[in-house]
Amino acid sequence: MKRPSPTEFTRRVLHVLRRIPAGRVVTYGDVARLAGRVGAARAVGQIMARAEEPGLPYHRVIAAGGRVGGFGGNPQMKASLLAAEGHVIRRGRIANFAARRWDGS
DNA sequence: CGCCTGACCGAAT
DNA sequence: TATTCGGCCAGGC
């Protein structure tokens, strides 16, 4: 194998990303919760920052309160991708965040 | 095994 | 509303 085995938590995080519907968003904290580690929001950020697997909607994971949050390389691209999926972004935040937030169902 | 970092969170100021 | 601070967790060294 060219790389060390990912921990189960890491696998779960990536699995959650695949389930996020287009046009919806979740917070890092939500991903942590859905992956089974409440409070591991920072860890989720680390995993995503180092994740190599392409094709995952990393841009659909935002910070708490609907804030866009960070992004590797071009932070602006994240906002663009979100806008392309129908989100309205104002002053770094998703408009009507509560309604666009995915609860994992 | 211990210390540092970071695509974070939320309460307090 | 903006800024600061302590806490939390996995990964890299």
Percentage above 70 pLDDT, chain A: 95
Q: What is the mean pLDDT of residues A75-85?
A: 95
Residue type, A1: M
Question: What pLDDT sits at residue A5?
Answer: 57
Question: What pLDDT sits at residue A84?
Answer: 97
Question: What pLDDT sits at residue A3?
Answer: 40
Tell me, in Å, how far CA of A94 is from C1' of C6?
Answer: 27
> With a 7 Å cutoff on the CB, does A6 touch strand B?
no
Question: How deeply is A103 buried, as exposed, middle or buried, from its count of CB atoms within 10 A (0-12, 13-18, 19+)?
Answer: exposed
Q: What is the mean pLDDT of residues A76-97?
A: 96
> With a 7 Å cutoff on the CB, does A37 touch strand C?
yes
- Tens-digit pLDDT profile for residues A7-54: 899 999 999 999 999 999 999 999 999 999 999 999 999 999 999 899
